Chains A and B, each alone.
Chain A
């Protein structure tokens, strides 16, 4: 018996596409049926945006479109044209991590880390809107994201810790600042 499958839809051809990705204007030629996730990963250089399921169930591909969390695997790139797109790579300022990033490492919010970009993007949007959310509000914000490692508890802890940092107005130290001196106890004049 020979297996027959349906032919694939023909590509509809390339179209120009402009959007701001993490503050940088990207002018690309994309297929007009392209999915935002594919454009971000394959053309806009955002490999931090992860593909987990391709059907909007896991939340790994979450990005911010004009500040709103969106599942990029269910978003046509054309929908995000001329928009401001923020991915996980756009959260830090130079070598100063966003508090939510720092707290995900400090509080165990990230284990294998594959779902982490999605969680970070979604919770940074939450904190932008509501700098001191309750646990219930945090849970509602991340209900569309699946994590298989942490059981979510330390993720909620991380968001709470980040919210404390944000409300106190502190910022995270530059990661390039000098590390431990192997020859301590000596004053260098």
Chain B
């Protein structure tokens, strides 16, 4: 075969002398050469051209220049664009029945009787189930299992499940739904979350000896760090705001759906679009009273999760129960309305935010009081209650921190986890508060932030271990690219610009099921046989965020293979190792780490085999594109397939299992584990808005969105996540709201009245990726899925203030709400025409120079700390003159950590603090 000139000049692999001149079995391709290594993807530390301003990384030597850092199309994308991706409702099994759920029409009622006789008479009805068929409780958190498949005794919100019916077709099932007669005794329902704090004749749940008073308080948290009493004496500026956040729903485009099928051997396969198949697996075993190994949870394609598909759901139990009764597969698909009845969206919240700054422009205190409305069930609420406080203790250094949180049950659909879990609302309150503090101090809000940041490798006031932190770079980039200095407080009335920051966990340090506690968080299995393709088994739930792709990329990179040689099997619990699922932004960090660890084992075996074939020095071997060769003499080497076949001698397929578990970290006080993460992401956004002062209509014109994701393994997906987060956050800040009427009815359970932004509402978004190279992240990566949502809300709120000079404390900022505020401002200022309003202006005070100088100094400090491997510990408080090397609570009495409120506090508690006025039943001795 004639050789083409330029191909000979390639860096490509040359056949080793003495090797047989025919193709290896299994090779069927047609490429003659490996691709030359892309030096732009190889880090400087390995002699490549990829700049590493943050230093080298422990995975640098695994980079083969294949796919890490390259914009990569999702590996399952082609299924989606051809219509061949099977989502929940697309699973059609022969002989399937269609089931419908009978839901409560009442907010709160006792179920007295259920009469199914008429429904059974309807031809085509095959099976009916009620609460009597499933007595066991379940719930996503083992400490708060409070759900039944269907109502046992009581229904707790409109739409709560009462019974379910399976029939030959949907029309029959719907007709049967009508014929099932349920007798209720209506109870007094509560809808205002503030009522949940009071004693009640019939609390929505009974927590036995842990029940708090006779109230509907599901969880209460109290945390004080530092000298909270000293705040008042230090503060020269204080901000106080009472926020009201409406509940919002994930509004994923795919309504929930599930198919259950018991196979002839008596095993259950549940097909469900789930973010956390493993928890469903556990819950099914509890409810059906069968061992877990008798169940195969099959995750279908997931049409959007955002936290809305991360609980084990009662309808999943219903389908399994009906399929067991009928002996046939049962499919349940929700109407859009039912999605709102199952909800699990962001908690409606009342947050009182107090921020204090001292004469040096330091944040000398944050006092937060958050009452959150959990709806009818616990869901993830235990965690949410903590997150509303602990997730705003960074990225700033704080002198004292007080948090009281309470989550109450009300007769609404349950709230739960939603993108930015628990952090979004309180972050919005903190960031707008900082804007107000900057205003009071007459300084630039970006400089105020820059002068108060924690350095890399530090501990927050609550004891979280911060490793990499790219907050400073995020702020500097958005400031520069948005031309902040030319615009802030300088634009005409109706035009405004605002800043917001964010901080989020990259995986939860403690898994939800931590017993036995040495289980890994993530496990990945690899299998490679003679064909050379790599099968990756992982339980990570691909929900569109690109987790399959990121795991495939990690394996491809370590083994030096093109992405098309990697196939992911992540669907079934029968084949996938246990994975905790796609929540708390854990997948990239934990699963890619596990995948790397598995791939490293295979890599070692391939290197050993290469040594055996070529006799080369193992230390000198490097992996390139489908070849392994000596770095000093590339002529000495073998193809990937040759090394593989050598390694397979006498044993067959190579298999490897890699796992990831978080390192030990954090403090020991009650609740210390909430918010702990192996790494944290940071982000800073600048939003530019136009407000029509005559109508109150707000339009976001442009957003500069900088996010520190450690290392963008797949920049295309990271940008997609940033832009998508902006979309969702913009919805919450401007238009989305679950509106409950006077009688507590949900008024907009559909996508017409629940307004998610359409393409016309979306501004231009400039995603800016900041790579801080996390020391423990896979190739340096951290999360990018949830953190980017946080800053958009306060950035828009602050921009609205810049535009018209009014601060909102109620979201969403709908035109009617904003117009009322504008009119009120005009009235108090005696202005007749809204167009005569003055938008705020800024004249810097002397403090501005102090802050700028401190920011400059800290910038140098941070650079030194991130580049210096041998670094001193840095505990929050050093900015206030404390010794950075010891946790302050160990040396200073005033810094004692409190998790129980004092009597002084209880004499005058804030709103959520009232939850602490009640005594747990076990302490009253009456149960």
Q: Are A1 and B302 in contact (CB under 8 A)?
A: no
Chain A residue at minimum C-beta to C-beta distance from B92: A47
A168 within 8 A of B: no
- The distance in angstroms between the C-alpha atoms of A148 and B73, with both chains bound, is 19
- Measured CB to CB, the nearest residue on chain A to B533 is A182
Q: Closest A-chain residue to B642, C-beta based? A: A183
Residues of B within 8 A of A149 (CB): 304, 544, 720, 724
- Segment 723-740 of B: residues with Cβ below 8 Å from A: 723-728
Least CB distance from A147 to B in Å reads 7
Given contacts A88-B83, A187-B32, contact A115 B642 (CB under 8 A): no
Please tell me if the beta carbons of B15 and A185 are within 8 angstroms of each other in the complex. Answer: yes
Flag whether B222 is at the interface (Cβ < 8 A): no
Report which of A50, A104, A117, A182 forms a contact with B27, defined as CB distance below 8 A.
A182
A100 to chain B, nearest CB (A): 8
Which of B55-63, B127-135, B322-330, B561-569 has 4 or more CB atoms under 8 Å from chain A? B561-569
Q: B171 contacts A11, CB within 8 Å?
A: yes
CA distance A180 to B77 in the complex (A): 19
Complex alpha-carbon distance, A148 and B461, angstroms = 36
Q: Point out the residues of chain B lying under 8 angstroms from A87, CB to CB.
A: 83
- B29's partner among A57, A91, A175, A180 (CB-CB below 8 A) is A180
Most chain A beta carbons < 10 A, residue from B79, B80, B305, B720: B80
Q: Is the pair B175, A8 in contact by a Cβ cutoff of 8 Å? A: yes
Q: A47-B83, A149-B720 are in contact. Are A181 and B105 (CB under 8 A)?
A: no
Q: List the A side residues contacting B536 at CB < 8 Å.
A: none
Task: Check A115 against B564 for contact (C-beta < 8 Å).
Answer: no
A36 to B320, CA, bound (A): 30
User: A29-71 vs B: 1/0 string, CB under 8 Å?
Assistant: 0000000000000000011111111110110100000000000
Interface-forming stretch among A13-21, A76-84, A151-159? A151-159
Contacts of B83 in A (CB 8 A): 46-49, 87-89, 117
Q: Which of B141-149, B179-187, B190-198, B683-691 is near enough to bind chain A?
A: B179-187
Most buried by B among A49, A153, A189: A153
Does B495 belong to the interface (CB within 8 Å)? Answer: no
Q: Cβ of B89 and Cβ of A51 under 8 Å apart?
A: yes
Closest CB of chain A to B560's CB: distance in Å? 11
Residue of A nearest to B182 (CB): A3
Question: A57 is contacted by which of B183, B727, B750 (Cβ under 8 Å)?
Answer: B750
> If the complex has contacts A53-B750, A101-B82, are A111 and B546 also in contact, measured as CB distance less than 8 A?
yes
A3 touches B181 (CB 8 A): yes
In A2-28, which residues have CB < 8 Å from any B CB?
2-3, 5-8, 11
User: A112 vs B251: C-alpha distance in the bound complex, in angstroms?
Assistant: 13
How close is A134's CB to chain B, nearest CB, in angstroms? 14
Q: How many pairs, one residue from A and one from B, have CB atoms within 8 Å of each other in the complex? A: 264
A105-B81, A142-B759 given as contacts; is B12 within 8 A of A185 (CB)? yes
Check if A111 sits within 8 Å of B79, measured CB to CB. Answer: no
Please name all residues of chain B whose beta carbon is closer than 8 Å to the beta carbon of A11 when the two chains form the complex. 171
How many angstroms from the CA of A113 to the CA of B82 in the assembled complex? Answer: 10
- A contact patch SS: loop
CB distance from A126 to the nearest CB of B (A): 13
Chain A neighbourhood of B178, CB < 8 A: 5-8
Which of A89, A151, A179, A185 is in CB contact (< 8 Å) with B723?
A: A151
Q: Would you give the shortest CB distance from B890 to chain A, in whole angstroms?
A: 46
Complex alpha-carbon distance, A175 and B77, angstroms:
13
Q: Mark B297-311, 1 if CB is under 8 A from A, else 0.
A: 000011111100000
Which of chain B's residues have a CB closer than 8 A to the CB of A7? 175, 178
Chain B CB within 8 A of A146 CB: yes
- Whether A179 pairs with B564 at a CB distance below 8 angstroms is yes
For A174, list chain B residues within 8 Å (CB). none
Given the interface pairs A97-B78, A111-B720, A154-B720, the reply to whether A148 lies near B758 with Cβ below 8 Å is no
Would B751 and A57 count as touching, CB distance under 8 A? yes
Asked whether B762 lies within 8 Å of A151 as measured between CB atoms, the reply is: yes
B627: Cβ under 8 A from any A Cβ: yes
In the bound complex, CA of A55 to CA of B335 (Å): 10
A184 touches B181 (CB 8 A): no
Please name the residue on chain B nearest to A141 by beta carbon: B759
**What residues of A have a CB within 8 angstroms of the CB of B107 in the complex?**
none
Minimal Cβ-Cβ distance residue in B for A187: B1
Chain A residues touching B, range? 35 or more
- Cβ–Cβ contact A114 & B254, under 8 A: yes
Q: Enumerate chain B residues within 8 angstroms of A133, measured Cβ to Cβ.
A: none
Find B24's partner among A57, A58, A156, A183 (CB 8 Å cutoff).
A183
Q: How far is the CB of B347 from chain A (nearest CB, A)?
A: 19
> Which residues of A, 150-177, contact B by the 8 Å Cβ criterion?
150-156, 175
Q: Which of B612-658 contact A (CB under 8 A)?
A: 625-627, 639-642, 644
Nearest Cβ distance between residue B71 and chain A, in whole angstroms? 8
When chains A and B are docked, how far (Å) is the Cα of A113 from the Cα of B178? 35
State the CA gap A41–B207 with chains docked (Å): 45
Q: Which residue of A lies closest to B250 (CB)?
A: A148
Chain A residues with CB under 8 A of B387: none
- On whether A112 and B81 interact (CB within 8 A), knowing A54-B336, A55-B752, A154-B719, the answer reads no
Interface residue B34 (Cβ < 8 Å from any Cβ of A): yes
Most buried by B among A51, A89, A185: A185
Please state if A146 and B751 are interface contacts (CB–CB under 8 Å). Answer: yes
**A180 touching B31, Cβ below 8 Å:** yes
Task: Tell me if B491 counts as interface (CB < 8 A to partner A).
Answer: no
- Whether, in the assembled complex, B86 has its beta carbon less than 8 Å from a beta carbon of chain A, the answer is yes
| B562 touching A180, Cβ below 8 Å | yes
B726 contacts across to A, CB distance below 8 A: 151
Q: Closest A-chain residue to B2, C-beta based? A: A187
Q: Which residues of A contact B727 (CB under 8 A)?
A: 148, 150-152
Segment 90-133 of A: residues with Cβ below 8 Å from B? 91-92, 97, 101-102, 104-108, 110-117, 120
Instruction: Please determine whether B105 and A110 come into contact, CB atoms closer than 8 angstroms.
Output: no
Of the candidates A105, A148, A186, the one whose C-beta lies within 8 Å of that of B77 is A105
Q: Which of B34, B182, B725 contacts A185 (CB 8 A)?
A: B34
Q: In the bound complex, do residue B14 and residue A185 qualify as a contact, i.e. CB atoms below 8 Å apart?
A: yes
B184 — which chain A residues lie within 8 A by C-beta?
A: 1, 3
B863–chain A nearest beta-carbon distance, Å: 33
Residues of chain B with a CB closer than 8 A to A106's CB: 73
Q: Nearest chain-A residue to B71 (Cβ)? A: A108
B348 CB–A CB distance under 8 Å: no
Closest to B88 in A: A114
Q: Which residues of B contact A139 (CB under 8 A)?
A: 759-760
Checking A108, A120, A155 against B716 with a beta-carbon cut-off of 8 angstroms, the contacting residue is: A108
Cβ-defined contact, B1 with A153, below 8 A? no
CB distance from B15 to the nearest CB of A (A): 6
Partner of A112, one of B254, B626, B642: B254
A105 with B303: CB separation less than 8 A:
no
The answer to whether A112 touches B717, judged by C-beta atoms less than 8 angstroms apart, is no
Q: Does B265 contact A (CB under 8 A)?
A: no
Assess whether B81 is in contact with A110, with CB atoms less than 8 Å apart: yes
Cβ of A42 to closest chain B Cβ, rounded Å: 9
Interface-centre pick from B171, B253, B301, B305 (highest chain A CB count, 10 A): B253
Whether B303 lies near A114 (C-beta < 8 A) is yes
Measured between beta carbons, the chain B residues less than 8 angstroms from A148 are: 250-253, 304, 306, 724, 727-728, 756
Contacts A50-B253, A87-B83, A148-B727 known; list 17 others, CB within 8 Å: A1-B185, A53-B255, A105-B74, A105-B80, A113-B79, A145-B759, A148-B306, A149-B544, A151-B726, A154-B720, A179-B565, A181-B29, A182-B532, A182-B644, A184-B32, A186-B27, A187-B32
Q: Which residues of B contact A (CB under 8 A)?
A: 1, 3, 12-15, 21-24, 26-34, 73-74, 76-87, 89-90, 92, 105, 171, 174-175, 177-178, 181-186, 250-255, 301-306, 333, 335-336, 531-533, 543-546, 561-562, 564-565, 625-627, 639-642, 644, 716-717, 719-720, 723-728, 750-752, 756, 758-760, 762, 764-765
Please give me the 9 A-B residue pairs with the lowest Cβ-Cβ distance, nearest first: A48-B83, A181-B29, A112-B544, A113-B80, A114-B303, A182-B532, A105-B77, A151-B727, A185-B13
* A–B Cβ pairs within 8 angstroms, 19 of them: A2-B181, A3-B182, A47-B92, A111-B544, A111-B545, A112-B80, A112-B252, A113-B80, A113-B544, A114-B303, A148-B304, A148-B727, A150-B727, A153-B764, A179-B564, A182-B27, A182-B533, A182-B641, A184-B32
